[in-house]
Amino acid sequence: MAALLLVLVVACALFVGVLLWVVCSHFFTAHIPAAVDHPVKLWVLSCLFQLLVTWGTILEKLRICSMPQFVSFLHDLPPLKQDPEVVVKDLRFGTIPVKLYRPRAASSGLRPGIVFYHGGGTIMGSLKLYHRTCCCLSRESDSVVLAVGYRKAPQHKFPSPIRDCMVATIHFLRSLDAYGVDPARVAVCGDSVGGSVAVVLCQQLLDRSDLPKIRAQILVYAALQVVDFQLPSCQQNKDVPLLSWDFTFRCICYYLDVNPVWKSTIMEHAHVPADLWEKYRKWLGSENIPKRFKKRGYQPVPPATPNENACLETNLLLDLMNSPLIAEDAVISRLPEACIVSCEYDLLRDNSLLYKKRLEDLGVPVTWHHMEDGFHGVLNTLDMGYLQFPCSRRIMDIMVHFIKGL
Exactly one of 131, 269, 369, 376 is catalytic; name it: 376
| 346 counts as catalytic | yes
Exactly one of 164, 228, 346, 350 is catalytic; name it: 346
User: How many whole angstroms separate alpha carbon 218 and alpha carbon 216?
Assistant: 7
> Cis (ω within 30 of 0) for the bond into 159?
yes
User: How many whole angstroms separate alpha carbon 193 and alpha carbon 32?
Assistant: 23
- 366 neighbors 337 (Cβ within 8 angstroms): yes
- Counting Cβ atoms within 10 Å, is residue 285 exposed (0-12), middle (13-18) or buried (19+)? middle
Q: What angle do CA 44, 45, 49 make, to 5 degrees?
A: 115
Q: What angle do CA 127, 118, 357 make, to 5 degrees?
A: 165
CA distances from 345 to 35, 290, 395, 406 (A): 9, 16, 15, 29
- 54 neighbors 43 (Cβ within 8 angstroms): no
| 177 counts as catalytic | no
- 362 neighbors 332 (Cβ within 8 angstroms): yes
> Cis (ω within 30 of 0) for the bond into 154?
yes
User: How many whole angstroms separate alpha carbon 89 and alpha carbon 80?
Assistant: 13
User: How many whole angstroms separate alpha carbon 51 and alpha carbon 349?
Assistant: 25
| 257 counts as catalytic | no
Residue 117, strand partner residues: 148, 190
Coil, helix or strand at residue 379: helix
Of 18, 105, 326, 356, which is closest to residue 217 (Cα–Cα)? 356
CB atoms within 10 A of CB 401: 14
Exactly one of 192, 196, 244, 352 is catalytic; name it: 192
Coil, helix or strand at residue 112: strand
Terminal CA-to-CA distance of the chain, rounded, Å? Answer: 67
Residue 115, strand partner residues: 146, 188
Active-site residue list: 192, 346, 376
